[in-house]
Amino acid sequence: MSRILALLLGLLMAVPAFGQTPASSDSSVAQTDNVRAELMAEVAAVKPGEPFWVGLRQTIRPKWHTYWKNPGDSGLPIEIRWTLPDGVRADPIVWPTPHLFDVGGIINYGFKDEAMLLVRIVPPADFKGPSLAITADTNWLVCEDVCIPEEARLSLTLPLAAASSPAPPATRAIFDRARQNVPTESPWPARYGVAKSGDPTLVVEARGLKPDTIRDVYFFPAEWGPIASMAKQSASVGADGIRIPLKRGDAKAALPEHLAGTLVLTERTGGGEVRQAFDISARIDPAFVPAPSLGASFAAAEGSEQLSLVQALLFALLGGLILNLMPCVFPVLAMKAAAFARLAGHARSEMRRDGVAYTVGVLATFAAMAATVIALRSSLGEVSWGFQFQSPVFSLLIAYLFFVVGLNLSGVFEVGGRFAGIGQGLAARGGTAGAFFTGVLAVIVATPCTAPFMAAALGYALSQPAPHTAAVLLAMGLGLALPFLVLSFTPALQRLMPRPGPWMDRLRQFLAFPMYASAVWMIWVLTQQTGADGVLYALGGMILIAFAIWLLRLGSGASAATWLRRGLAAAAVLLALAATLRLQDGPATAASATGGPTTGVSFEGWERFSRERVQQAVAAGKPVFVDFTAAWCITCLVNERVALETPAARRAFEQAGVVKLKGDWTNRDPEITTSLKDLGRAGVPLYLFWAPGAERPKILPQVLTESLILSELASLQQAKR
């Protein structure tokens, strides 16, 4: 039904085009508004009884596409109706490898830019005459935002000769390129099984492939109906070959004895990446009953919410409020509280102005973040919460920021005054600008954290259109700023605040130490991403920054010595920033419990996460616990210390026979990103628990306790009894 509706929609959009004049031609070339069609032959002369190849070549308007033999959710395949002399036969079309097009959630299979459909023509041995005339009546549907049916009549006349002669070299080169784009017969056997849910899983027994060299695996079903068209297939490459969980299509008939289609994959070789295609015919294997696919079980995970916009906004507001209690935001909020207490006894208008400025700073930063997310999503396709902390460059810059803020709180320098004029504008505007930039800093340090309610809201926001994304992120910013905003407008709460005094300076100096600790934490994160060299670059850069501050404090004015000091200070800062050019952004270096290098994330007693390993353990009926974590996520590390790595928890995991898998997202990892997206989540921490025999996991809270973990594991022991 969905395919019929999509096709009707496409045809309705095409109604204005039905009145156009079809491209008719007595030649081998026809030009429509969107496609140039050409009928060409690989030979210049035909020998009776000797088969030869012709091709329908389409040159397609940029951003438009025509359709494969299985067009997918909508569309119509290219058709050719031949008019041939008596006794001459045209074999079926040899189709080139298709591309996938996702048009607003409607999945199509077809061709862009150029396509060449090859057909073998077989003349009889007793064919008579001076020439062989071929006519091809072709029609196709070409689509972008709208779909337009087009057609053309193409003809070709080839002379007969005692021996065939080849076409010119340029024509033969076109045929050679076309054959390179035709799938080859698969060298591997293939089979498929059907799960209890009715969804099939295809297994291509391509043993010996290296998983780290294979990507972008996709199976194009040869016929519409048995298999659904999917925007993304969660294929896995392992020791037994390629395993692709599929979805049952809309056809009501039983699945076929043999499932035909084209397997397309990209392999990384010494000479670069190569896209390869194989025609597959998989026999049904009644003995193979696959477990539900990991993607399907993720999507149906217990605790995964399908939110409306109103629910997402409410969850974002609550998540932002709770974010004030998360450890990563404590240092900045303590600074803000101290600055707010300094205003006690001042005019109410000044306190309200300070609260509004802080709120505007928070909201402006969330708005900038929303704009960045939307821009990156439009170009990269997938963006997650805290993605910037996966960049070593960002980690180093944030470490510098924390260090400089700590120096300021310690009284090493003041923003404004004699500090080379830096911040003069901020000082002139009193505390309003300071409140604004405190809000900016609060958002920056909050992004590694994911509070309760935030996960579902962020998962919704990052998968929705731009207006919804911006609205949810701004609601989260309002939640983060709301306590100080309410305080600034409530005199009764203001009267509870302590009066200013000498304790304010001591508190300010004390708050420098959480900022130094935050800088140390970011340096530690940097070492997990880049190795030991990250410490050298970070500490060296901090020395250069401190040296620059010392130079700028030596004096002011317009003397030559002052300008020299300023020049040296600028050079020192630039040299510190140049350290970012030496950082290498690579994959996560975490290893499994079998040994090897590890990140700051603890792997003792844990295996590295992979979708294939989860599938194997779940299929074997074992309990599985998955911990998605990152070195830059403080909440994750706290949960490990207080709930997952206590002696009691380790004992309980071991006694219950739980397969423990850890997904380290400190650096970019496409498999973890895809898994989070399947669950509607945008960041870490995330905890999944499969009970034995369960088809879907349970999502545990983002703030764990030892008693919660022990309770979940105790339920396994009770079930055994």
Q: How far apart are CA 82 and CA 79, in angstroms?
A: 10
Between 368 and 293, the more confident residue is 368
| Same domain membership, residue 660 and residue 569 | no
| Same domain membership, residue 439 and residue 470 | yes
The residues, any chain, with a CB within 8 Å of residue 304's CB and separated by 6 or more, are 298, 456, 679, 680, 699
Return the H-helix or E-strand segment holding 474: helix 466-488
Q: How far apart are CA 387 and CA 550, in angstroms?
A: 34
Q: How far apart are CA 565 and CA 555, in angstroms?
A: 9
| Same domain membership, residue 640 and residue 547 | no
| Same domain membership, residue 208 and residue 251 | yes
Range of the domain at 669: 607-720
Whole-number CA gyration radius for the chain: 33
Average pLDDT on 36-55 reads 96
Give the single-character DSSP code of 642: I
Average pLDDT on 115-137 reads 95
Which of 137, 160, 181 terminates a domain? The answer is 181
CATH number at residue 228: 2.60.40
Amino acid identity of 628? F
pLDDT band at 387 (very low <50, low <70, confident <90, very high): low
**Residue 587 falls within a domain, yes or no?**
no
Q: Give the mean pLDDT of the chain.
A: 80
Q: Is 90 helix (H, G, I), strand (E, B) or coil?
A: strand
Residue 571 reports pLDDT greater than 80 = yes
| Same domain membership, residue 320 and residue 227 | no
**Residue 598 falls within a domain, yes or no?**
no
As a whole-number percent, the residues of the chain with pLDDT over 70 amount to 78
Instruction: Render 439-473 in DSSP notation, one character per residue.
Output: HHHHHHHHTT---TTHHHHHHHHTTS-HHHHHHHH
Q: How far apart are CA 178 and CA 55, in angstroms?
A: 9
**Residue 304 falls within a domain, yes or no?**
no
Residue 199 near residue 248 (C-beta atoms within 8 A): yes
| Same domain membership, residue 529 and residue 626 | no
pLDDT band at 703 (very low <50, low <70, confident <90, very high): confident
pLDDT band at 4 (very low <50, low <70, confident <90, very high): very low
The residues, any chain, with a CB within 8 Å of residue 174's CB and separated by 6 or more, are 40, 55, 57, 116
**Residue 425 falls within a domain, yes or no?**
yes
Average pLDDT on 481-496 reads 80
Predicted local distance difference test score (pLDDT) of residue 276: 93
Amino acid identity of 8? L
Residue 38 reports pLDDT greater than 70 = yes
**Residue 534 falls within a domain, yes or no?**
yes
Q: What is the 3-state secondary structure (H, E, C) of 212-225?
A: HHEEEEEEEECCCC
Predicted local distance difference test score (pLDDT) of residue 625: 94
pLDDT band at 5 (very low <50, low <70, confident <90, very high): very low
Give the pair of three-digit tokens for residue 98: 């298709």
| Same domain membership, residue 687 and residue 550 | no
Instruction: Render 380-407 in DSSP notation, one character per residue.
Output: HS---TTGGGGSHHHHHHHHHHHHHHHH
pLDDT band at 131 (very low <50, low <70, confident <90, very high): very high
Predicted local distance difference test score (pLDDT) of residue 328: 62
Average pLDDT on 538-566 reads 83
| Same domain membership, residue 715 and residue 622 | yes
Instruction: Render 534-603 in DSSP notation, one character per residue.
Output: HHHHHHHHHHHHHHHHHHHHT--SS-HHHHHHHHHHHHHHHHHHHGGGG----------TTSS---SS--
Quick: pLDDT tens for 163-187. Answer: 999 999 999 999 999 999 999 999 9
Cα of first residue to Cα of last residue in the chain, in angstroms, is 47
Q: How far apart are CA 630 and CA 390, in angstroms?
A: 9
pLDDT band at 13 (very low <50, low <70, confident <90, very high): very low
| Same domain membership, residue 173 and residue 123 | yes
| Same domain membership, residue 280 and residue 159 | no
Give the single-character DSSP code of 700: E
| Same domain membership, residue 287 and residue 212 | yes
Q: What is the 3-state secondary structure (H, E, C) of 94-154?
A: ECCCCEEEEECCEEEEEEECEEEEEEEEECCCCCCCCEEEEEEEEEEEEECCCEEEEEEEE
| Same domain membership, residue 143 and residue 208 | no
Task: Tally the domains of the chain.
Answer: 4
**CA angle centred on 538, ends 535 and 540, rounded to 5°:** 100
Return the H-helix or E-strand segment holding 378: helix 348-380
Which of 131, 154, 181 terminates a domain? The answer is 181
Predicted local distance difference test score (pLDDT) of residue 17: 40
Q: What is the 3-state secondary structure (H, E, C) of 284-299?
A: ECCCCCCCCCHHHHHH
Quick: pLDDT tens for 315-356. Answer: 888 888 877 776 666 666 666 666 666 666 566 777 788 888
Quick: pLDDT tens for 599-643. Answer: 555 567 899 898 878 877 887 788 999 999 888 777 788 888 899
C-alpha 411, offset from chain centre = 43
Quick: pLDDT tens for 46-89. Answer: 999 999 999 999 999 999 999 999 999 989 999 999 999 999 99
Which of 293, 318, 344 terminates a domain? The answer is 293
Predicted local distance difference test score (pLDDT) of residue 435: 80
**Residue 204 falls within a domain, yes or no?**
yes
Predicted local distance difference test score (pLDDT) of residue 717: 67
Predicted local distance difference test score (pLDDT) of residue 292: 54
**Residue 712 falls within a domain, yes or no?**
yes
**Residue 278 falls within a domain, yes or no?**
yes
